[in-house]
Structure 1
Amino acid sequence: MVTIQLISIDTNKTISYTQTNSLGNFTIATNTNTFPLKLKVQHFSYESKELILDTNQFLSIVLEAKTNELEEIVIDTKAYDVIKKGDTLQYNLKSLLNGSELKLKDVVNKLPGLAIDEDGKIRYNGKIIDNLLFDGNEFFDRNHQIANDNITAEMIQKIELLTNYKNLSSIKDFEDNGKTALNIGIKDNYKNRFKGNITAEGGLKERYNLHGNLYNFGKKTMFNVVTNTNNINYSVLSVKDYMDTRKMNGKRIISEQFSQGGFSTSDLDLPSFLFADDNIQSRKLTNYTLNLSHKFNSKSKIEFISIFNLLDQTEESINKQVFFDGQSSNIDRLDKITGTSAYASNVLKYEVKLKNNSYFNVNGYSLWSKDNQNQFLESTLLLNDNKLNFNNDLKFTTNKYGVNAIYKNTLSKNLLMDVVAFYDNNSTNTNKDYNSSEVFSWFDIFKSNLHQKSNVKSSDIGVQGRMSWKLGSDKLIFRTYFGRSNEHLNNNLNELNAYQLNDDYNKTENIIGVQYQGTLKKPLVNYSLGFQYNYTNHSYLLDSKKALGAILPNFSISRNLRENLSAYISYNSNLNGFSILNFLSKNIVDDYRSYISPSFVVPELMITDSYNVGIMYNIPEKNIFFSLSFSHNSDRKKLESTFNNLELVTQQNFQYIDTNKTTSGNLTFNKKFRHIPFGLNFNSFGSVSQLETVLNNETSDNKNYNISSKLYIQSYFKNNQLNFNAGVNYMNNISKNNTAISSNLAKLERVTPFITLNGVALNDKINWSIDSQYFIYKSSSVQSQNIFDLGFRTQYNFSKKIQFYFNAKNILNIRENNTKNNLMATPNYTQEIIMRSLSGFTNFGIIFSL
């Protein structure tokens, strides 16, 4: 495509012209013109040439590339906030942050698709992140809140979300479905050295907070220790963090490895400090948390997690108990409870990739907790206006220890074997001292005090083997499990024969399972089909024995409807278990006005059917994240408490029921606009549960409706002098009970508009924030004052080493008589509560950075 012109030298007129072909060749006619003639060669990408020809001839012409030097090129566009690269979402922190952020939690809350829930957990698209990574290394395990509160924004270089994360235990070509992980890149000047900070604050109402944080993010060794003591209601450890720590232990490790496990575990021994909110009069907490991780090399590492928590708190509340049977006297009750709760946990984990095709992991752990409570209860029976006072001392001590191990090995290119084994040992001691203003005649004790000692010892041992056989892109899994459990209960009460018992319950469990996992490419559909056969032997009262067998099917299907749209549906059936309390030979006092009596039930199959369906629509480049899910759980048969209410006492035992089902739904939507500095967020969770119970030998139908929603707008002004987060929280709990002779309803509704303002001032010397919430309560029978909760924090960055700050919470309610509402629903009664809540405070503090 080079233009060729033949030109007369005398007239400068074109004689003829042509173009070169694809090979650059050309022939041009002289048309009888005499030589010399001029040949002109032109192309837009090359420098032109002129040649003087004296005769017909063959020519070889080489053109030089034309160079145009541009002084400047400007591409004017708005950078993406989120970039998707395969299974990784990379966040553009320069676009999303403005420099007013102080902690990791402040950063995460500004990243589209991510949020931090009330339990301190980081969620992506509504689901909890599985792993926290720092420079690609796992650390803090599942303790999200510790990371959120102790990693500062200035330490963070980058953040990316891995939606298909494979850890050290993953075996290539066998385990395709990875987990989610949030990878936080640390700046170089915060690595390979000990750094940290010490915080101290104090002020009005004698409120204080002392906090220490020391860390070292090394290439091989990562270390973090947090110490804290405070009475401002700050918890280093959240409820979810504690529960996830327990999942590393014992039988739970099998459910973690294989979701179609069909196991049931008990969490009746949870320490009370987990559920303490600001619905208390006073609260003092001391905490120590250590996280240590060391990589021996790229294929082996060790982790140690140690937690100690000591809580001292006082609760005071006014309660109205409404019984469902229509016969018992409703009760107005004043509760004053003081107590201490101590808890210690230590977990040591070692894992190694022996070769590319084998893996070994071992966990050893110990758990200890001790709770002491003193209860002063003043009860007024509304039927006859009689008053009863109780002064109770309760003590609970739990000791657990155990070990579990995982081994994986590829026996061939298409065959993987893995084995999981565990051993747990538990001992729980309970001492209950009850003192009444009247004799405990309802317990057949003609004294005004009673003392009960109980001890429960249990042990669990089990092993699971699994073979995974690859069939192209599909997989066939064979599984077998053997486990044995033993529970022993000893109980003594004031030398009364009806409360003296030594009971045992033993269970052996055998499982054989088959699972087929496949993929259809057009359309892209992943599916899984399987079943397991459970065979259990139960040994309980008077050497009674019972064997049960059940086939438990399961399936799941997921499909990519479009590039950014996917949906799933699943079904799973599980076998529920028993506890020693189901097989009592004599009575046990449950609390000061109720006891559990022998049920004499025979073990039967109790199967739960679980259905799940959901849809996800994500366009990261447009900052759109949407998920909607529903679940339904239904028990074909369930062993539940039944109640027989007498004048002053409730007798409990166990009976099989047919109606126990729950339906729940979860919706999350997150959209950050690209061309205006705002983001819209909405999340909502709701559930409806139905439970059939027996009250005074009559069938009772309980329904509970719960909904909680949060809608808010968040600003992203690059000018860091002011940003805001404003919206509303809504919560509604309704409990309905119907018997043949009565109907009861209890309701608690809370609407909470809120707004948070934050920014920096004086050339980034001052970080400030203002938080305000207005709590509006509506209750069916008790009323609480509405609360305007106003707080602020102002931090002056004196230097890189020292910061001063003011911290104030609920400053309009510094008085001692603050109250909040709550609702507790049981199958026997509803209890509406007005609780004393923590007073506000203003503190002055200093932060010294190491």
Structure 2
Amino acid sequence: MKKKVCMTVVLTFGFLLSAFSQLQIKGKITNSNGEPIPAVNLILKTKDGLVLNFGSSSKIGLFNLTFPINTTDTIILTVTAVGLKNQRIILDKKNIKPNYDLVMIEEPFKIKTVDIISRPKITSNGDTLNYTTAHFTSSEDRTIADVIRKMPGIKIEDDGKIKYNGKAISNFYIDGDNMLNDRYNVGTKIPHGAVEKVQVIEKDQPIKLLRQNNMSDDVAINLVIKDEAKLDIIKEVCAGIGIPKKFEANFIAMSFGKKFKFINNATANNIGIDPRIEIQTHGNNKYANENNKPQELLSTGTGGSPPLPQSRYLFNTSALANLNNYYRINNDLTAKFNFSYLYQHETQQMDVSSHTYLSNGETFSYEETQLNKTNIQKIHSELDLTGNTDSYFFNNTLIASFDPKQVNSGIAINLKDADQILKQQTFDISNELNYIKKMKSSHTVNFHSYLNLTSQPESLSINPGLNDSLLNNGIPYASLIQQVETPTFFTNNYVTYGLRTGRFKQNYKVGVSTQDQQLISNLYREQYDESKQLINTMTNDIEWFKRKVYAEGSYEYTGNKIRASLIVPVGFNKISYLDLDKKLDTSLNRVFVDPSVKVDYRIGTENEIAVNYNFNNKLGGIEEVYKGIILKNYRSLYANDAPVSEQKSHHVNATFRFKQSLNMLFFNLSVSYDHTSFNTISSFRVDKNLQQKIILAMKNRNSVLSFNANGSKYLPPIQSTFNVSANYEIKRFTQLQNGLVENFNTSTVSYAAGIESKLTNFLSWSYLGNYSITNSIPGIDTQVKINPKQLTQRSGLTANYFKNLFITLSAEHRFTQQAGQPNLNFIFSDFSSRFVFVKIKTDLQVGLTNLTNIKKFGTIDFSPNAMKVSNYRLPGRQMMIKTTFNF
């Protein structure tokens, strides 16, 4: 069966590649004296005017244009240059010559007076697209983020993550320097007037000595700073007060000199703005698969946050200091220091009604009320030193973070009241060293070392004690105290030798990784006479040791049209874990081969098809093998009765990326399939007061099939950017609840459409709508069909009067429909007015949020056989008066 599937994939994409075969037109352009002419513009079109390709002649007059073989027979080549007579050449694709030598004749010309209506422009230079900032800017825009949102092909998500043509960026540069790492949200707050252009860099490879035969498929954003903005420090101060008892204060200073760059800011507010978004990380943890540290094991409950912008629901008092400093010591050596400190106090109140429906007709329901008061602190620092030349690359990054957190929570579950106090203190320090040396033979040697030390002490106290029938022989008692600690040490070290021969590149890697971990947990009960006992059956003291010795061969080919890579890692894995009290002493050895293959085929100069496949083996972690019960929250008990979990995953993906930069049109289409098999399953046992989870040995599998399409187009005549997307996903998986094994099929289809438009010189409009339908089909009929329909819409209209006054009206609509439940329908509206005093560089703004004074918001959350209806308290209507100074 596997062979048939592989053969089908090969034949399918073989057909696609042949369908997109290319023809080539090349030649040389000279003047009447035989001298080559550079920078001559060439456009290749069909007779109907469809642009097939475009480009310009090189410094020595050469040009080379390709176009699909399946186009019309008649093709028109237009050749233009200032001061030269234009040429229009009609070609027959059946009789393409090997070379076209064109002679351009000088022609005096007179510049005619023209009226420029709109000049948004994108230019292309190799793998770099240049968006001119001024062409996408409206008068109401303040930051470069406001402008980027209007650029076709680029998307900024709600959490600040930037995507280009459907793909997340890997680096965010400011004038070519990566000063913010993957915490780049603050970089999008740069005033748009300081940015000359936004560059999208495809095949981004920041390491200079690896740029030859570059196989990178990363995408990066680079902000090109204007020369005048480099001469001084940009400073902005904002202060605001409002009702009821609201305040906001911000200060930001930034400088972008050649030797020294910085973006330093401080902010504080209690109007629902969460400053954590400024230090949000967007990178992927490349060691997550090997260093699978347990996430926080304890919590105060199952409630979450509503699907709203945080400013609509967050009761907060927050402060953040965020310092980012970048030093260029010389042309090849840089240093940077990033530091942030966050303090946040949050209050959240919610009512939750949870229902779980089993195939045997049973229904379990929980009625809960929760009031949480949370104090959060986050201290984060990074010190980075980088040397980057054509002969060597050196980087050392030291990162340390400390995140203390305390939650005081009052709960009522099925009319039983209790108070909780949760304390968590996570400390994490790591150092990563990477050194690459280029040899005289152009071969490379790479040494890499990564060290990480983590401490995660947690404690949860519940007063009075709950579930006395299970935890205290049916006798009421005063409190429960759960304590957990999971210290972890991890290191990964390897050496790589790289060879390059023409278009081929080979890398051979050997390395070793080690994880040394411990999980200590104790559950205490305290009686009303203040005596305190350890519940012996609910303790853990596990020592966990994992070692991996591995070797890897990677092979890459870079051609004019095709790039291909094959990676074959082989690893010997040894895991041993010990808990003497639980009579647990186990070890296992596994040898894994995890191959991956990728092929990119370029169609023309701008489009490509990418196909990749990988097979992956993954072993579970310490959180899946402890035997003693852990009280995760006031109604959840977790334990395990299974060996180390093993996952085997197949992933295949095909992506087609299409763009016409000249026409400002971007489109991508992808299909992916994932199939994973497991040797363990999470078994849930639900009753009227408690949910218990235990991991059991049982083979099962799941699969995910997804289709995604995204398009973006800028229309110059109406100065508008249109964005559309469609997604379809099918999931198949197994659940085990109350001893019943159930197979589920869940499908979700969603559509989204948006527009950023400048309707007139004084009126701008934005709209974003998203509609989704989910269907959950259990293997056995249940009482309730989970098939929600959800619609979300956001729109804003801004009017500009007298060039100084900006008035904005905005609205947000959310609608949810689920059979058997009342429809949820909410409309929020806001108003703001901003007046700009140009001479003194000052803004005065008055804003009203939540005009309709909505103080309660409801949501319905779904899983295949469960439903949770939540109601959240909202702040209600607010008014703010703010002034902003720029100096």
In which range does the TM-score fall when normalised by the shorter chain?
Answer: 0.7 to 0.9
Q: CA deviation at 1:377?
A: 2.3
Q: Show structure 1 runs of 4+ deviating over 6 A.
A: 67-71, 75-78, 270-276
Q: CA deviation at 1:263?
A: 4.0
Q: CA deviation at 1:617?
A: 0.8
Q: Whole-Å Cα distance in 1 between the matches of residues 763 and 880 of structure 2?
A: 24
The answer on 1:818 being equivalent to 2:871 is: no
- Pick aligned residue for 2:834 from 786, 795, 801: 795
Is the 1:146–1:237 contact (alpha carbons within 8 Å) kept by the matching residues of 2? no
The answer on 1:179 being equivalent to 2:221 is: no
Stretch of structure 1 that moved more, 397-406 or 321-330: 321-330
The answer on 1:430 being equivalent to 2:446 is: no
Is the 1:811–1:842 contact (alpha carbons within 8 Å) kept by the matching residues of 2? no
Aligned match of 1:486: 516
Aligned match of 1:468: 498
Q: Whole-Å Cα distance in 2 between the matches of residues 274 and 402 of structure 1?
A: 30
Q: CA deviation at 1:707?
A: 4.6
Aligned match of 1:316: 349
- Pick aligned residue for 1:296 from 313, 324, 329: 329
Q: Which amino acid aligns with 1:292?
A: N
Aligned match of 1:361: 395
Q: CA deviation at 1:271?
A: 12
- Pick aligned residue for 1:327 from 358, 362, 380: 362
Structure 2 counterparts to residues 13-162 of structure 1, below 5 A? 72-74=111-113, 81-148=121-188, 150-162=189-201
SS in 1 for 2:439: strand
Is the 1:96–1:716 contact (alpha carbons within 8 Å) kept by the matching residues of 2? no
Q: CA deviation at 1:508?
A: 0.4
In structure 2, the gaps of 5 or more residues are 1-31, 34-83, 85-105, 525-533, 579-583
Q: Whole-Å Cα distance in 2 between the matches of residues 70 and 242 of structure 1?
A: 55
Quickly say closer, same or farther: Cα 1:266–1:487, change in 2 above 3 A.
closer
Stretch of structure 1 that moved more, 554-563 or 175-184: 175-184
Structure 2 counterparts to residues 393-408 of structure 1, below 5 A? 393-408=421-436
Aligned match of 2:651: 610
SS in 1 for 2:419: strand
Is the 2:454–2:487 contact (alpha carbons within 8 Å) kept by the matching residues of 1? yes
Q: TM-score, normalised by structure 2?
A: 0.80
Q: CA deviation at 1:701?
A: 2.3
Q: Whole-Å Cα distance in 2 between the matches of residues 75 and 725 of structure 1?
A: 30
Is the 2:298–2:632 contact (alpha carbons within 8 Å) kept by the matching residues of 1? no
Quickly say closer, same or farther: Cα 1:88–1:329, change in 2 above 3 A.
closer
- Pick aligned residue for 2:874 from 837, 840, 847: 837
SS in 2 for 1:621: helix
Number of residue pairs matched by the alignment: 760
Q: CA deviation at 1:708?
A: 4.5
Q: CA deviation at 1:399?
A: 0.7
Aligned match of 2:315: 282
Q: CA deviation at 1:112?
A: 1.8
Quickly say closer, same or farther: Cα 1:407–1:605, change in 2 above 3 A.
same
Q: Whole-Å Cα distance in 2 between the matches of residues 321 and 824 of structure 1?
A: 10
Is the 2:656–2:670 contact (alpha carbons within 8 Å) kept by the matching residues of 1? yes
- Pick aligned residue for 1:548 from 585, 590, 597: 590
SS in 1 for 2:280: helix
Deviations 1:170-212 (A, max 9, x none): 5342544263222222233332433311111121222222111
Aligned-residue CA RMSD (Å): 3.1
Q: Whole-Å Cα distance in 2 between the matches of residues 618 and 748 of structure 1?
A: 35
SS in 1 for 2:276: coil
SS in 1 for 2:722: strand
Quickly say closer, same or farther: Cα 1:518–1:267, change in 2 above 3 A.
farther
Q: Whole-Å Cα distance in 1 between the matches of residues 640 and 721 of structure 2?
A: 58
Quickly say closer, same or farther: Cα 1:337–1:780, change in 2 above 3 A.
farther
Q: CA deviation at 1:469?
A: 1.5
The answer on 1:341 being equivalent to 2:380 is: no
Q: CA deviation at 1:274?
A: 11
Deviations 1:147-176 (A, max 9, x none): 22x211222222222223332455342544
Q: Whole-Å Cα distance in 1 between the matches of residues 248 and 862 of structure 2?
A: 32
The answer on 1:477 being equivalent to 2:507 is: yes
Q: Whole-Å Cα distance in 1 between the matches of residues 466 and 521 of structure 2?
A: 24
Q: Which amino acid aligns with 2:362?
A: Q
In structure 1, the gaps of 5 or more residues are 1-21, 24-44, 46-66, 256-261, 381-386
Q: CA deviation at 1:546?
A: 1.0
Is the 1:536–1:547 contact (alpha carbons within 8 Å) kept by the matching residues of 2? yes
Q: TM-score, normalised by structure 1?
A: 0.83
Q: Whole-Å Cα distance in 2 between the matches of residues 144 and 531 of structure 1?
A: 33
The answer on 1:619 being equivalent to 2:660 is: yes
Stretch of structure 1 that moved more, 725-734 or 535-544: 725-734
Structure 2 counterparts to residues 527-546 of structure 1, below 5 A? 527-541=564-578, 542-546=584-588
Q: Whole-Å Cα distance in 1 between the matches of residues 539 and 134 of structure 2?
A: 69
SS in 2 for 1:297: coil
Q: Whole-Å Cα distance in 1 between the matches of residues 109 and 372 of structure 2?
A: 79
Is the 1:814–1:840 contact (alpha carbons within 8 Å) kept by the matching residues of 2? yes
SS in 2 for 1:597: strand
- Pick aligned residue for 1:688 from 712, 730, 733: 730
Q: Whole-Å Cα distance in 1 between the matches of residues 842 and 297 of structure 2?
A: 38
Q: Whole-Å Cα distance in 2 between the matches of residues 274 and 310 of structure 1?
A: 20
SS in 2 for 1:140: coil
Deviations 1:697-744 (A, max 9, x none): 221224444454321233245x531121234222445555455x7454
Aligned match of 1:666: 708
Is the 1:806–1:842 contact (alpha carbons within 8 Å) kept by the matching residues of 2? no
Quickly say closer, same or farther: Cα 1:103–1:544, change in 2 above 3 A.
same
Quickly say closer, same or farther: Cα 1:708–1:580, change in 2 above 3 A.
same
Deviations 1:362-418 (A, max 9, x none): 1111111122112222223xxxxxx32232211111111111110101234342221
SS in 1 for 2:601: strand
Q: CA deviation at 1:504?
A: 1.2
Q: Which amino acid aligns with 1:761?
A: Y
Structure 2 counterparts to residues 377-396 of structure 1, below 5 A? 377-380=411-414, 387-396=415-424
- Larger C-alpha radius of gyration, 1 or 2? 1
Q: CA deviation at 1:630?
A: 2.3
Aligned match of 2:484: 454
Stretch of structure 1 that moved more, 686-695 or 112-121: 686-695
Is the 2:133–2:192 contact (alpha carbons within 8 Å) kept by the matching residues of 1? no
Q: Whole-Å Cα distance in 2 between the matches of residues 665 and 813 of structure 1?
A: 39
Q: CA deviation at 1:824?
A: 5.1
Q: Whole-Å Cα distance in 2 between the matches of residues 94 and 836 of structure 1?
A: 42
Q: Whole-Å Cα distance in 2 between the matches of residues 761 and 299 of structure 1?
A: 50
Deviations 1:229-248 (A, max 9, x none): 11222233339x63436x5x
